[in-house]
Amino acid sequence: MPILNLKLAVTEKSPTRAQLEACQHWIFLLAGTLTVAEIMALPFGRELMQRHREMAKRVKETDPVTLDLPNKQSSRVAFASPVPGISAFNLLELARKLTAVHAQTPSTRLGLLVYGFAPKAAERMAEGLVAAVWAAAAPMPSFKQDAPPGPGWRQVSLYGIKPRDGFRRTRAEAEGNAVARSFSMLPSNLLNPGRYVKEARQLAREHGWRFEFLDLSTLRRRKAGAFLAVAQGSAARDAGIVHLRYRPKSGNPRRSLALVGKGICYDTGGVNLKSARHMFGMHEDMQGSAVALGTLIALTQCRANYSIDCYLAIAMNEIGSRAYKPNDVITAMDGTTIEIVDTDAEGRLVLADALALACGRKPGLIIDYATLTGDCTRALGNGYSGVFTNREPYLPLLIAAGKDSGERVWPFPMDADYDRHLESRIADIKQCAIKDGTDHILAARFLQRFVKHDIAWVHVDLSAGNHKGGLAHVPTDVTGFGIRFTLNLLLDKKIL
């Protein structure tokens, strides 16, 4: 499991010349309003002044500048001068680029300086830097014999600010994101459903969660026909739904939350077989469950005062003599009959029964995560993820949480007249429509049918789950998108 074995030391003072010379790698965020005297007060102020003037002429605030100091260590400084009102996304992007300057060095020490900003802006700048450093430092799976060295940092020293909580929440988010990315990168021969369940059980032990696994026999007794239809194509009988329970150690939580994630460890498309181009990378189709798991880790480490139930719908979507087929009629756990249209739309089926399970406990809010539809990616690209909800007043909160966290989302309509595309002549509902174009909306309308008891619900279609070159503060193609967004939504926007 990824462990952020990285110590963070913070001080309000600026580094001395001796401290600057003792460390070879530095990142500076300098306010654009600094006077000559303020810059000259820093060690190597003359050299910084020259580069600071060059940087002021640049148009893009997301481009770092580098400077090799004339000292014995040849210390390298990557620095930038973002405006105080820089968006969260652009700040995190800048922090990722600054961090990348030093990412391929074996050095165990990294210095950070935030200088010249007002206190509130300085803390925001520092948080973005720390988030990017922790994202870069998290070890990710690699099977190369000659893998390039990753960051060897063991000690990060932050100068110029003393945060109130030592960035405890930022670290919790980074830990959750590291787990989500690491699991999502593993190939399906190493993270099949059986192995995934074992990893979830081990995490439950480490974090003090109650663990329950609803295997195929249990799901058959519970009449979870939507999930079972997807799982039946696999020769291995290791699929099932993992249920993790977190309860705060103190307090009397009145609020309850359910997290639900799509965990398809590999998606061939089933009988509606994907082409080679579209099948490659489908080991990442379990990223929704990994994000739900990572979110639970982050909330646990933040000691959130909610009761949280997390459901991971873990299976393979494979092709074989037992695989389900178009025109099959199956029955979900809540009794809904479903006409199968496309076996490559399996995610909404496993989520349907997982949502039905989650509703049984009547939580105050359900959030589900899934790499669900290509149409959402075609609509938004992979810099945003799509969000859907059965509570229209939530829409401004969802957008604001995306902007403030740097994990941007955009809502789509959920009007009832879309349901005409899901009408079936033989069953209660069609799984999807034949034509593409609005499948992300139809998938959300399908899922909403399984959200009972008028429970508040948010669905996140992870079109930003993979972004070439990284996204915001995350340096890998697999982004683990959704954890910072969710914590902002819960802890800052108080949606629950």
Give pLDDT tens digits for 450-481: 999 999 999 999 999 999 999 999 999 999 99
Please tell me whether residues 96 and 185 are part of one structural domain. Answer: no
| CATH number for the domain harbouring residue 144 | 3.40.220.10
End of a domain among 114, 146, 165? 165
Is pLDDT at 34 greater than 90 in this prediction? no
Please tell me whether residues 77 and 205 are part of one structural domain. Answer: no
Q: Within a domain: residue 2?
A: no
Burial 292-314 (b: 16+ CB within 10 A, else e): bbbbbbbbbbbebebbbbbbbbb
Residue ranges of E strands in 371-455: 385-389, 409-411, 429-430
Please tell me whether residues 213 and 73 are part of one structural domain. Answer: no
Q: What is residue 213's predicted lDDT score, i.e. its pLDDT?
A: 98
Q: Within a domain: residue 118?
A: yes
Cβ proximity of 471 and 89 under 8 Å? no
Q: Within a domain: residue 1?
A: no
Please tell me whether residues 260 and 377 are part of one structural domain. Answer: yes
Residue 48 DSSP label: H
Please tell me whether residues 32 and 131 are part of one structural domain. Answer: yes
Integer angstrom CA distances of residue 207 from 88, 200, 234, 303, 350: 30, 10, 31, 11, 26
Please tell me whether residues 291 and 439 are part of one structural domain. Answer: yes
Other CB atoms within 10 Å distance of the CB of residue 418: 17
Q: Within a domain: residue 77?
A: yes
Q: Within a domain: residue 121?
A: yes
| Domain coverage including residue 450 | 171-492
Please tell me whether residues 349 and 217 are part of one structural domain. Answer: yes
Q: What is residue 148's predicted lDDT score, i.e. its pLDDT?
A: 72
For tokens 């181009």, name the residue. Answer: 277
Q: What is the pTM of this model?
A: 0.96
Cβ proximity of 386 and 464 under 8 Å? no
Please tell me whether residues 152 and 211 are part of one structural domain. Answer: no
Average pLDDT over residues 326-347: 98
Please tell me whether residues 64 and 189 are part of one structural domain. Answer: no
Give pLDDT tens digits for 49-103: 877 776 666 545 557 888 888 877 778 999 898 989 999 999 999 999 999 999 8
Give pLDDT tens digits for 121-173: 999 999 999 999 999 999 999 999 887 777 888 899 999 998 878 899 999 99
| Catalytically active residues, by annotation | 274, 348
Please tell me whether residues 441 and 322 are part of one structural domain. Answer: yes
Q: What is the sign of the dihedral through the CA atoms of 458, 357, 247 and 195?
A: negative
**494: Cβ–Cβ under 8 A, 6 or more apart, which residues?**
none
End of a domain among 150, 165, 180? 165
| CATH number for the domain harbouring residue 230 | 3.40.630.10
CA–CA dist 428, 444 (Å, integer): 16
* Beta-bridge partners for 30: 115
Task: Single out the residue of 138, 309, 141, 144 nearest to residue 211, CA to CA.
Answer: 309
Q: How many domains does the chain divide into?
A: 2
Other CB atoms within 10 Å distance of the CB of residue 284: 25
Integer angstrom CA distances of residue 351 from 10, 114, 240: 43, 44, 12
pLDDT band at 251 (very low <50, low <70, confident <90, very high): low
End of a domain among 136, 165, 194? 165
Please tell me whether residues 205 and 158 are part of one structural domain. Answer: no
Q: Within a domain: residue 457?
A: yes
Name the token pair of 43.
């060690």
Task: Single out the residue of 111, 137, 117 nearest to residue 30, CA to CA.
Answer: 117
